[in-house]
Chains A and B, each alone.
Chain A
Amino acid sequence: MADGSLRKIGRFCLIFCKQKKNRTEGGCVCTATKIGRRGSGGGRERGFSTTTATTEEKRSPQQQHSQGNDNKKSSNINLFTAINQALRIALETDPRAYVFGEDVSFGGVFRCTTGLADQFGKNRVFNTPLCEQGIVGFGIGLAAMGNRAIAEIQFADYIFPAFDQIVNEAAKFRYRSGNQFNCGGLTIRAPYGAVGHGGHYHSQSPEAFFCHVPGIKVVVPRSPQQAKGLLLSCIRDPNPVVFFEPKWLYRLAVEEVPENDYMLPLSQAEVIREGADITLVGWGAQLAIMEQACVDAEKDGISCELIDLKTLIPWDKDTVVASVRKTGRLLISHEAPITGGFGAEISASIVERCFLRLEAPVTRVCGLDTPFPLVFEPFYLPTKNKVLDAIKSTVNY
């Protein structure tokens, strides 16, 4: 891809691209892959925006403490490698940390756990039988004994057998035992979201189900650097966390990631693109789509502010409120079906807080209210063009 077209992707990518010697290499993040042109939904391009330098500065004192001397070292890696690094660090820094799930001992389907069993032994990194309910229940027990249980559910679509364990056991353990017990060391990792051809049971985004459950946290990273920092925070957070990894980005998203141990704060949203006319809120892989829409909208003179929510519960309302107070307009976008999606919660909250400042109805650009389709994926997804149309109609309301 030529340098000129790279610049169009936006300034966050440029920050990263400047770090690369050869921008035209195929591994560059900005080489947005074009897919799903079959439908009428318009081109859906997948790139993503990297973490800005400012995020790194936001690390808490304890994280900076753990950085050591070589905190300047970083490498250009994809998202699954970043997850792998985070897991490795978690296992290295805490002898009571365990990684388990279906097929994780030889790397897992997405290679996130490659090499961990060799390094840490099969007593700490091991395969489980195929029984999600059992995996999570086991993890709750392990965590209740003061361990860091890092469970992998192979696809978020398979998390539903474990739903009871997460909702009734994990989330309420501390509350119902009067703080005698908890499973705060539990982190459930699950690849989620569209992947271009996943069909019904390998593409869903079930985050909203879990956002209805006080007692757990739900976190979704947007890029390799974010994934590593957020995952380490989740593992070390004293509450059970469901961590959804955008599987589309596992290989596609490549970014400069520090090699050292660092954490990114939970429940802190990040403004990844500043603008004046409309606020866009999203998380995970959808941010890349939204950013492309922002870039296109800018050509029409619309200045968009883009916020990565990162933690869905408890979410950073203040950052979104501050942004909407500035822009007066709000658009939320996620891959999950629109009805009952987490966008509805954001919309309701912002209307409550910013009613008199809003200049247009809050808009949601989401998946359709159908099962996640196989051949119709391009129609179903909230593509760039859908987001762009919604930006325009909201600004011109």
Chain B
Amino acid sequence: MALSTHRTTTALLRHLTPAISYLRHISTDSTSTITVETSVPFTGHKIEPPSRSVDTTAQELMSFFRDMALMRRMEIAADSLYKAKLIRGFCHLYDGQEAVAVGMEAAITRKDCIITAYRDHCIFLGRGGTLLESFSELMGRKDGCSKGKGGSMHFYKKEGGFYGGHGIVGAQIPLGCGLAFAQKYKNDENVTFTLYGDGAANQGQLFEALNMAALWDLPAILVCENNHYGMGTAEWRAAKSPAYYKRGDYVPGLKVDGMDALAVKQACRFAKEHALKNGPIILEMDTYRYHGHSMSDPGSTYRTRDEISGVRQERDPIERVRKLLLAYDIANEKELKDIEKEARKQVDEAIAKAKESPLPEPSELFTNVYVKGYGVESFGADRKEIRAALP
């Protein structure tokens, strides 16, 4: 089932069968504005930060909760599938960072572009990807979003403006500037969110890209998802200045609590307006990944278990929204539990379906290397002979 950012009540209700009766009851005021204060104030670099007061609605908070619960469940299921060897290749999980994906989505449209690195599963869901496409891709099946040819690190969704998961640390950043240039050239008032981690923040190409983006006033928003560990190295061991929002020097920056979906939404909305008028801006999302860097990293050799459980208890993005929903009496404990149960069910169903999806046709090995009919054709036994094919 598609994870979506439906904003209409009916669409919301479709996904919430267990809570339907209650939501019908409150649906009359589910779109009225609620103003919530962000957990911490924004910190600006060469820019006046936006207000801490964020406008939201009951409906939006419910969709945050539902989307994040689904993302969390998907990542945990991916972990098990990897351990069961159903997912091969490399796999990087996003649990803990969900607020960045949903908060960003809430502030922008699908005409805005997002490009990210290899921790891409949840961004893909946020952009309108389905669980079936995700799990099929993870397991290398035909129904995957990249036809099973990409795997965990290479999710894409063109119609959702998702320019995908990229395998090489930092390599997607200049690409994001290229996307932003195209948007500016077309004058279509859209922006590109280029995501990278704190590890990639030390890559030289970030600074090359920043310079170009600033020089040409591109509508590029560089989002540093600072989960505090570049693979297994703490940020302070890798970066002289871990204040990534300031490292653009002449490019303004904003430090955001990336565990607070509403703060992320506020910051992204602010950044989009800024970028359209003035060019690039850096958003440093202070976030945290619960899993290790990849599946071979237990995630506990370079940080303490206490640190991880401390973040879970105090800053978890889903728990924060849960508390808001309860505090504003939008939903009760049981309904939220039911939503989580429903997420689990959707994930299980998607996995079952994905497992039935066949592997791609063997001939797919040779497709998409060049445009069909242009470039090179392989033939012969084992297809090891090649011939240049001219149009």
Contact = CB atoms under 8 A, between A and B. Distances in A.
Given A106-B302, A128-B238, 16 more contacts: A40-B362, A129-B230, A130-B200, A130-B231, A131-B203, A158-B169, A161-B168, A197-B88, A198-B90, A199-B90, A338-B384, A364-B384, A368-B383, A370-B369, A375-B149, A389-B381
B306 interface: no
Given A106-B301, A375-B140, A130 B384 contact: no
Interface size class of B (residues with CB under 8 A): 35 or more
Contacts of B386: 338-339, 369
Contacts, number: 121
13 contacts: A102-B230, A103-B233, A106-B301, A129-B199, A129-B238, A130-B231, A158-B169, A160-B168, A199-B152, A200-B153, A364-B384, A370-B378, A386-B382
A386 B151 CA distance: 27
A200 B200 contact: no
A389 B153 CA distance: 35
A374 B365 contact: no
A371 interface: yes
Q: Is the interface of A mostly helix, strand, loop or mixed?
A: loop
Contacts of A102: 230-231, 233
A129 B362 contact: no
A163 interface: no
A368 B377 CA distance: 11
Interface string B325-369: 000000000000000000000000000000000011010111001
Contacts of A131: 170, 202-204
A375 B296 CA distance: 19
Interface in B66-94: 88-90
B151 A374 contact: yes
Interface of B: 88-90, 140, 148-154, 167-171, 199-200, 202-205, 230-233, 237-239, 296-297, 301-302, 359-360, 362, 364-366, 369, 376, 378, 381-384, 386
Q: Identify the interface centre among A102, A196, A375, A380: most chain B CB within 10 Å of its CB.
A: A375
B161 to A, nearest CB: 23
Interface in A169-204: 196-202
B355 to A, nearest CB: 14
Contacts of A134: 202, 204
Contacts of B204: 131, 133-134, 161
A201 B366 CA distance: 18
Given A106-B301, A368-B384, A130 B199 contact: yes
A376 interface: yes
Contacts of A133: 203-204
A395 to B, nearest CB: 16
Contacts of A365: 384
A39 interface: yes
Nearest to A393: B381
Contacts of B296: 109
Contacts of B199: 129-130
Contacts of A338: 384, 386
A130 B170 contact: yes
B167 A200 contact: yes
A33 B369 CA distance: 31
A379 interface: yes
A304 B41 CA distance: 72
Contacts of B90: 198-199, 201-202
Interface in A130-158: 130-131, 133-134, 157-158
A373 B364 CA distance: 10
A374 B140 contact: yes
